Amino acid sequence: MVCLFCTCTHRIINSSLMKIILEKGQGLFFTSDTHYNHANICRATTNWGGQDNLTRDYKSLEHMNSTLVNRINEMIGEDDILIHLGDWSFGGFESIEEFRSRILCKNVHLVFGNHDHHIRRNKADIQRIFSSCQDYLHLDIRKPEGKEVMKYSMVCMHYPIASWDGMNDGVVHLHGHVHLPQQLRLHKGKAMDVGVDGNDLYPISLGEIRGIMKDRPHVKLSLPQDHHEKRINS
């Protein structure tokens, strides 16, 4: 069990519990599958061919990259917290730090995705650029709202899972990996794909997630179709 507070900058591998106590005015945001500098996911530079539903409609790779950066910085301030649920970047090791250097937020926590192999292996101590790195997070969140402190609990993993700790008590499951469009990003119960492809490349805030999940039933997740099934070459 590991507890992290909102200003913590320690790097922890394979942590389970992360406690976040938000300060007044401090935001908490989530995103996934940014795939910064991934040529094949950008329609102008892809080699996938004829699969527009799998690519992002940008006129160049830098156009896609700068849009990702600008939309993160537009929403998230330096002292806010960003939980990134994996597949940070693509296109070589150098893309990892380049992307991080363009993001203003000082508190970025990474949950490993299937394309984060350089970060997982900690090549050249690359994990130093993140506040923490892990495979799975169970978030215990405290957020001041007026005179009260609200409590939220979320299970975060790169991959969608069918059942999770606290599911029947209303714990929300956030994931990425499947690149669902906005109309499909919600599942039957309190589970959601927070990847950028379902949110016009923007991150999503704690407040927005809570509003979406508030009245959703406690239902076991029926796993969504994986976008990787639609093509052979990555």
Residues 52-98: tens digit of each pLDDT: 778 999 999 999 999 999 999 999 999 999 999 999 999 999 999 99
Q: Give first-to-last CA distance, the chain, whole Å.
A: 36
Q: What is the pLDDT at residue 63?
A: 98
Domain boundaries, the chain: 17-224
Q: Which of helix, strand or coil describes residue 25?
A: coil
As given in the structure block, the two tokens for residue 135 are: 């495979």
Count of Cβ atoms closer than 10 Å to residue 186 Cβ:
17
- For the cut 90, the answer to whether the pLDDT of residue 39 exceeds it is yes
Q: What is the CATH number of domain 17-224?
A: 3.60.21.10
pTM here is 0.89
As given in the structure block, the two tokens for residue 68 are: 């990702």
Per-residue pLDDT reduced to its tens digit, 196-233:
999 999 999 999 999 999 888 877 666 666 665 554 44
